[in-house]
């Protein structure tokens, strides 16, 4: 008699093969024999009457049928895990692993200052932080929750708005003392402009009559751009969540405020996750904790 437990184990093994890119890697991750992995995948394929994976000597690839099946398996196992956790966790604090991804400046300036208090409040949540400057595929990167800055486009994700962070045009006092204070947008052409080397949309500054430009110096992430501005290298456009304290303490000077466009898509900050996430209680706990404490 084939049990539900055996079936779910086989499906977990199948997902491990897909996620780790091969039978040997899956076996190592699960601490089982490669032969057991191979047999489990074969049994699933026999039951379905079709191939899920194409094997080559170097890698595996999902068949068209496999892609649809594996997506459904992920969702189904997530529902089962959620149901189990809901029963176990009644009356208890959320517990387990929570993997959070955000751009490195957001992690450095907004999340890290909150982690100590969060861990005191939710001691049973094992937090894993990762930083990626671009958008990540939550399933591919095994991420439960991502903090995204800017306009959202993926409708398959659930989004919780965290707020808006105004953009600031900034430069250091030392730089401005040598190069002069720009009072009009067109005067920026006389200055060294610091920009981003990745997403070109980040070089579209929210200024009336200002078009995209080629930076004098560019960097791949916001924290590097901030450090370049602090080190007297030129004028930059950065989110308030990373420069508001610099402005308040005089390390950076805010420029052209009366000529800025407001309420742009770059100001939006959202927490995103899959609607069927099996870690929904941990996600909710994290969002509800950080939102009122963020300084955007």
Residues 38 and 81 in one domain: yes
Residues 151 and 272 in one domain: yes
Determine the pLDDT at residue 256. Answer: 94
- pTM of the shown model: 0.67
Residues 18 and 78 in one domain: yes
d(CA 255, CA 226): 15
Residues 271 and 141 in one domain: yes
Mind listing the pLDDT tens digit for each residue in 164-206?
999 999 999 999 999 999 999 999 999 999 999 877 778 889 9
- Pick left, alpha or beta for residue 289 (phi over 0 → left; psi -120 to 50 → alpha; otherwise beta): alpha
Question: What tokens appear for 117 in the block?
Answer: 């208090």
Q: Phi and psi (nearest 5°) for 224?
A: -65, -40
Q: Flag residues of the chain having pLDDT under 70.
A: 1-6, 56-58, 81-92, 133-141, 154-156, 275-278
Mind listing the pLDDT tens digit for each residue in 11-54?
888 888 888 888 888 888 788 888 888 888 888 888 888 888 88
Residues 123 and 177 in one domain: no
d(CA 115, CA 97): 14
Residues 42 and 154 in one domain: no
Residues 16 and 75 in one domain: yes
Domain that holds residue 29: 4-88
Residues 202 and 154 in one domain: no
Residues 61 and 102 in one domain: no
Which CATH number is 187's domain given?
3.40.190.10
Q: Is 256 helix (H, G, I), strand (E, B) or coil?
A: coil
Residues 134 and 280 in one domain: yes
């Amino acid at each position: 008699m084939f049990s539900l437990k055996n079936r779910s184990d086989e499906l977990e093994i199948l997902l491990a093969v897909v996620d780790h890119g091969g039978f040997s890697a899956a076996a190592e991750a699960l601490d089982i024999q490669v032969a057991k992995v191979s047999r489990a995948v074969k049994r699933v394929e026999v039951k379905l009457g079709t191939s899920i994976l194409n094997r080559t000597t170097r890698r595996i690839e999902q068949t068209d049928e496999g892609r649809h099946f594996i997506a459904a398996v992920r969702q189904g196992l997530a529902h089962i895990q959620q149901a189990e956790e809901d029963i176990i966790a009644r009356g208890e604090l959320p517990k387990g692993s929570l993997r959070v991804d955000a751009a490195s400046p957001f992690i450095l300036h907004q999340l890290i200052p909150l982690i100590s208090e969060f861990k005191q409040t939710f001691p049973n949540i094992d937090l894993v932080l990762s930083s990626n400057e671009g958008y990540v595929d939550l399933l591919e990167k095994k991420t439960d929750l991502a903090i995204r800055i800017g306009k959202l486009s993926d409708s398959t994700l659930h989004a919780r708005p965290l707020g808006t962070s105004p953009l600031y045009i900034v430069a250091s006092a030392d730089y401005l003392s040598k190069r002069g204070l720009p009072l009009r947008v067109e005067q920026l052409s006389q200055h060294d402009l610091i920009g981003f080397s990745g997403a070109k949309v980040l070089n579209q500054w929210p200024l009336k009559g200002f078009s995209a430009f080629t930076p004098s110096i560019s960097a791949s992430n916001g924290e590097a751009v901030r450090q370049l501005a602090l080190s007297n290298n030129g004028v930059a456009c950065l989110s308030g969540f990373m420069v508001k304290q610099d402005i308040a303490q005089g390390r950076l000077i805010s420029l052209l405020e009366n000529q800025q466009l407001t309420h742009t898509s770059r100001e939006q900050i959202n927490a995103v996750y899959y609607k069927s996430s099996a870690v929904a209680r941990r996600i909710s706990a994290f969002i509800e904790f950080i939102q009122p404490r963020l300084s955007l």
